[in-house]
Structure 1
Amino acid sequence: MSHAAYVFDAYGTLFDVHAAVRRHAGDVGPNYQIFSEIWRAKQLEYSWTRALMGAYADFWQLTEQALDYTFQRIGGVDPSLRQKLLDAYWKLDCYPEVPAVLKALKQRGAHIAILSNGSPAMLASAVKNAALDTVIDDIFSVDALKTYKTAPAVYDLVTTNYRLYPNAVSFQSSNRWDIAGATKFGFRTVWINRSNMPDEYFDLGPSLILPSLESL
C-alpha cells in the first residue's frame, strides 16, 4: 500500500546512534558499548522529563549533558575524548540500506521527510554527511514547538504542513515508544526493530514490524 508521505525518525532509524562511540571504541575502552548505551538512554530520559516539566532545552544541549553524565557514570574514560565524541555525533553513519530505500520511495512520488527530536542543525549535518539531502524533502524538528515526542503536537507538524490526514502518513521509527505515540496520533506505523527487542505498549501496536528499512 502506498502512502502520500513516508516520514522517518532520525536517530536509531536512519542514523546509527552508537556510531560516535564505536568510532573511538579503542580510546573509550572495554566498556564502550555500555558507555554508548548509557549516553543514549540519558539523552532520551532528559527529553521526556523536560517535556513533562515544560523546561525545554534543545536536543544538542541534552546530548552534551547526557555525555557528561556518562563520563561520571563510567569511570576511567579519558575526559579529553569529550569533544571527539561530540564531533562524531554530528556525522553519524546512516544504516546501509537507507539511501536505496529512500530513493525508491521518492520515485513512487511520495513525500520523504524526517520527524525528529534532533535540533535543526544536528539533523542538517547528519543528512548532509550521509548524502541524503537529495532524497529528503523536509526535516521537521521538535525545536519548532519547544517540546519532545511523544507529544501529539509533534506528529501534527507533518499533517499540518502536508495537509494530510494522519492515515495518509507512513511513519517509521526504531523506537517503540515513538511508534506508540505515532500510532495514538493516527499514523500508519512501522516499527524498525533493529535490535530484536521485545514488544511493549500492546494497546498501541504498529501496523508492521521489520528488522530494517529494507522491506519497506
Structure 2
Amino acid sequence: MGNYADFWQVTAEALDFAVRQHHLEPSGEKRDRLLQSFLTLEPWPDAKEALLQMKAAGLRLAFLSNFTAAMLDACVKHAGLEGIFEAHLSTDRVRAFKPDPRAYQMGVDAFELPRAQIGFAAFGGWDAAGAKAFGYPTFWVNRVQAPLENLGAAADASGNSLHELAVFVKHSA
C-alpha cells in the first residue's frame, strides 16, 4: 500500500505547509493549540437532536471518516454525542482515505448490509460523489451551499441540515 500517513499526521503537515506559505512562525505552543482544536470541534446546532431522532427511529448510525480513531473518539466525547453511533470507522483501518472505495467498504463490512441499503450522509461534495460512485444512496449535507463539483457522480439529494437528511432517510426507507 506504499507510504501511508494517518490523518493526524496529514493535518500537522498541512498546518506546517500553510504556516510556511504565509511566512508565519507560530511557536510550538500555538501549533499544538491549533492541532488540538481538531479534537474539540463543535457540532452544528441541529446535530445532536437530529441524530437522536434518527437513532430513536431505529436507524443504525456510524461515522466513516478520514479522522483517526483517536480524533473521532475525542470529537464525539467533546460534542456530547457518546452512545449515538455504533461505530467510529476510521479510514486508518484500511490505510486509504476517502474517496478510495476501500474506505466506503468499511460501512458495508460494519453493518453487514448491501451498499444499496446503507444511507450515506456526506458533508463535502467530493465525499458525496465518492459515496455515490461506490453505490451508497447518498445525501449531501451542504451546509455552506457550495456548488456541485463536476466529479462524475452526485448525491441523490442534498440539503443544508441534518433535519433534511432525516426527511430524506424517512422517505427512502
> Any conservation in 1 of the 2:126–2:151 contact (CA below 8 Å)?
no
Q: Relative contact order: is structure 1 or structure 2 higher (C-alpha 8 Å, sep ≥ 6)?
A: 1
> Any conservation in 2 of the 1:145–1:154 contact (CA below 8 Å)?
yes
Letter of the structure 1 residue corresponding to residue 112 of structure 2: R
Compute the displacement of 1:77 (Å).
5.6
> Any conservation in 2 of the 1:54–1:147 contact (CA below 8 Å)?
no
Q: 2:57 aligns with which of 108, 132, 136?
A: 108
Letter of the structure 2 residue corresponding to residue 106 of structure 1: K
Letter of the structure 2 residue corresponding to residue 210 of structure 1: G
SS of equivalent residue, structure 2 residue 88: strand
Report sequence identity in percent.
33
Counterpart in 2 of 1:72? Answer: 20
Query: After superposition, where does 1:185-204 map in structure 2 within 5 Å?
Result: 185-201=134-150, 203-204=152-153
CA distance in 2, matches of 1:148, 1:197: 22
* TM-aligned CA distance change 1:121 to 1:112, over 3 Å: same
Letter of the structure 2 residue corresponding to residue 127 of structure 1: V
SS of equivalent residue, structure 1 residue 111: coil
CA distance in 1, matches of 2:18, 2:37: 16
TM-score (norm 2): 0.89
Counterpart in 2 of 1:173? Answer: 122
Letter of the structure 2 residue corresponding to residue 160 of structure 1: D
Q: Encode CA deviations 1:125-145: one digit per residue, 9 max, x unaligned.
A: 000000111211111111111
SS of equivalent residue, structure 1 residue 64: helix
81-90 vs 141-150, which deviates more? 81-90
Letter of the structure 1 residue corresponding to residue 9 of structure 2: Q
Q: 2:79 aligns with which of 111, 122, 130?
A: 130
SS of equivalent residue, structure 2 residue 85: coil
Compute the displacement of 1:205 (Å).
1.3
CA RMSD of aligned residues (A): 1.5
Letter of the structure 1 residue corresponding to residue 3 of structure 2: A
Q: 2:31 aligns with which of 77, 82, 93?
A: 82
CA distance in 2, matches of 1:87, 1:149: 23
CA distance in 2, matches of 1:86, 1:153: 27
Give the number of equivalent residue pairs.
Answer: 164
> Any conservation in 2 of the 1:194–1:211 contact (CA below 8 Å)?
yes
Letter of the structure 2 residue corresponding to residue 58 of structure 1: D
Q: Which runs of 4+ in 1 moved over 4 A?
A: none
User: Unaligned regions of 5+ residues in structure 1, if any?
Assistant: 1-52
Compute the displacement of 1:213 (Å).
1.4
> Any conservation in 2 of the 1:106–1:135 contact (CA below 8 Å)?
yes
Letter of the structure 1 residue corresponding to residue 160 of structure 2: P
> Any conservation in 2 of the 1:172–1:191 contact (CA below 8 Å)?
yes
Q: 2:166 aligned with 1:213, yes or no?
A: no
Q: 2:92 aligned with 1:143, yes or no?
A: yes
Counterpart in 1 of 2:171? Answer: none
User: Unaligned regions of 5+ residues in structure 2, if any?
Assistant: 166-173
CA distance in 1, matches of 2:113, 2:153: 21
Counterpart in 2 of 1:155? Answer: 104
